[in-house]
Chains A and B, each alone.
Chain A
Amino acid sequence: MTFLHNYPKAAKVARANFIVAFVALAIGGLFGFIQALHRTGVFRGFFNSGEYYTLLTGHGVLLALIFTTFFIAGLFVWGVTRSLEREPENMTFTWSWFWLMAIGLTMTAVTILGGLVPDSSIRAAVLYTFYPPLQAHPAFYIGLALVIIGSWMAGADWFWSYRKWRKNHPHEHIPILTFMALFTMLMWYICTIGIALEVVGILIPWSLGLVTEIEPLLPRTLFWYFGHAVVYFWLLPAYYVWYAILPKLSGGRLFSDAMTRIVFIIFLILSTPVGYHHQYADPGISVGFKFYAMATTLLLLLPSLMTLFTVVASMEHGARQRGGKGYLKWIGKLPWDKPAFVGCALAGIMFAAGGFSGMINASMNINILIHNTLWVPGHFHLTVGTAVALTFMAISYWLIPQLTGRKLKYKTLALIQPYSWFLGMTLMSNAMHRAGLAGVPRRTAEPEFNTSSMNFEPVFGTMAEMQWQIAIGGTILLISLILFLWVIVGTWMAGEKSDKPVDDYIPEPLSGVEHTPKILDNIKLWVFLAFILVLLAYSFPLWEMVSDGIFSPGALPRPS
């Protein structure tokens, strides 16, 4: 018996979320491929440069917000249900948050795709960051608001299950799969306060024409209050997989239950007061608060390095169980022929590389070297584009059989997929980083626009070589995406039915829950600390911005 047979209602909800996630992944991925060819100038026949921004918005919103949010919802439905051993408490409530998010997604997607329809007045070419002065159709903002409200309800659903479980288990530790889901959602609740205020309080009234003037710094700041923490909302579910499932896929066990909880607690506390590191070049925010954001951002290296240690230790344990020996020779004993393992492991390696480039972004003094250049998308294609996306794709090879009761089909194609993603992303991201160092701007269909008197100067190599590297990498990524969708659709539609389509047993950690201090489960304490740090970072600057009126431009510039 597998998850589908034990929890059929939850399996249906998880499947519905995954379907939406994969459709968003398909469309968003295709848009990314077109962008790669267009802005490198390799092929510009799909759309014109005006429509490029519609594609860019679609790529960002569909992948970074829709694919991730729906996949995470499906993953957490699976994890919470399984670890608490109970179906969702009220299926009407559960389906209502799913449909609310789906309606919101539809509204958002229609407004974005409207940009490709000639003479359409419904447009939303506002990029993933969607703050003023770019303005979208009101339905875009309302749709996003519905997605966020739906995600809040999803979190409430899991807390509801947890409270019911707690009544029957008053002295037990929160099961680790539920612990990680709840702490991720707590972080999500805190960080989405900013985007909710921005969308409901400013962008919707502004797009409806109810207000005509706004303080430009305020929505930017509220967006970035959310905009970096959302990275951890994507990343923590990848950690969820690396901690809970990857050790098992390696043939071993999680190294430490307590360490896992500490990592999630640190992310809850530190994820939100870091947003100013996206605003180093913004006047209006004093340099002291930017320094504070840099410090908290760099502190987040701590849980990332703890994760590196814990996950690698767990994998080493697994390899040694399979006969691995020596300091490094054990790596060869890992299951490099299993797509779920390969995808998660390669995603983890890519995340380390993304962490290194992220340190440059986070550092006030050297950020300016790469600010708003192609380096930045090069960086986040390593983190969200690979660490998160590849982990989600890889673990789908293990989860979808549990949710459909069908064995994985096309295992060879499934194995080629993560390797090809890793190859394609390395080529593309490497060239994007190098182009960024040469000053090539991001967020433009015309990177060489107005450069007749200014040539980009690569540190080494040529611009043409980088452009081709990006285009080839993007093409390999599209092929990899097609392989993934082919395997998933094939498995879903025609996989061999089985009561046990995959080995879904997750063993206990090496250092188990019996060694975990009780205080780590104290949700109120950690949320309180998180709010304190957020207040320290944001209360004074936000007060300055709104003290002369929420819609009144006029915050004083600050030295930056």
Chain B
Amino acid sequence: MGDKQEGQEKEPSRNLVRILIIVGIGIPILVELLTLLNLINVRIFETEDHPNQQLKQTKEVRTYSQGDTLVASEDEFVLLQSMKINVNARQWEFEISLSKEDSTGEQLASVNLDSIRLKSGEILDAPVARDWRGNGKSRQSLWTSWALPSGDMPYTIYLSYQQKVAEDSVTKGSREIRLGNIPVRYNRKEE
């Protein structure tokens, strides 16, 4: 070995070597041992469902995906017509469209898409007030989109609505809609 010939460069002290062995090898061995013991513990000494017990106790929250009905009454309903994330190299854009129908052919209730909440907790207001459009009173649709902050995802949308309950009275309400799977579309043309 060339230890003695490696010149005047200071050799590491024995204490440093001990510390390095304890930290650099000791901690990894400890981490792996704990992993092994936990795996053995879970697989052999605990019942199958125990590790997930906490999850199962969590109240299941309904999520909404494309085609689901968001608001419904006897005569009319609001559908989540489509939603997707358009991806290009510069940004991710969340796009959603709702549709509402009324089987009676009368004036539809007023529904507004107020805001969305992201996974990070940030709330984005509807970027531009958009009107419902349609070729008749009985079916209309609304489309809007948000540019998403880097790395964030839509989590919930907030709707407010007014529904007719009688000739001269309406009921107001709001809904918090937890979103389910959102398709992602890579849009090369926008680059």
Contact = CB atoms under 8 A, between A and B. Distances in A.
Interface of A: 38, 41, 44-45, 47-51, 115, 118-119, 121, 123, 248-249, 251, 335-338, 346, 353, 407-412, 415-416, 418-420, 422-423, 426-427, 430, 434, 445-446, 448-450, 452-453, 455, 457-461, 496, 498, 500-504
Contacts of A251: 1
Given A338-B1, A430-B31, A449-B184, 10 more contacts: A44-B150, A50-B88, A121-B191, A411-B11, A412-B16, A426-B32, A434-B35, A452-B63, A460-B39, A502-B5
Contacts of B27: 423, 426
Nearest to B90: A118
B135 interface: no
B39 A502 contact: no
Contacts of A410: 9
Contact of A336 (B21, B63, B119): B21
Contacts of A501: 6-7
Contact of B90 (A50, A337, A420, A502): A50
A452 B155 contact: yes
Which of A38, A338, A346, A461 has the most chain B CB atoms inside 10 A of its CB?
A338
Majority secondary structure, A binding face: loop
Interface stretch (B74-82, B99-107, B161-169, B175-183): B175-183
A502 B88 contact: no
Interface string B144-172: 00000011010100000000000000000
B110 interface: no
Nearest to A115: B89
Contacts, number: 136
6 contacts: A115-B89, A119-B191, A249-B1, A411-B9, A502-B5, A502-B6
B89 A49 contact: no
A457 B52 contact: yes
A423 B7 contact: no
Contact of A412 (B12, B28, B180): B12
B151 A415 contact: no
Q: How large is the interface on B (under 10, 10 to 19, 20 to 34, 35 or more residues)?
A: 35 or more
Contacts of A337: 11-12, 14, 17
Contacts of B6: 407-408, 411, 501-502
A422 B9 contact: no
Interface in B1-37: 1-3, 5-12, 14, 16-17, 20-21, 23-25, 27-28, 31-32, 35
Given A422-B25, A457-B55, A452 B10 contact: no
B92 interface: yes
B174 interface: no
A337 B11 CA distance: 8
B25 A419 contact: yes
A84 to B, nearest CB: 24
Contacts of A50: 87-92
B42 interface: yes
B10 A336 contact: no
Contacts of B67: none
A532 B28 CA distance: 43
Contacts of B38: 459-461
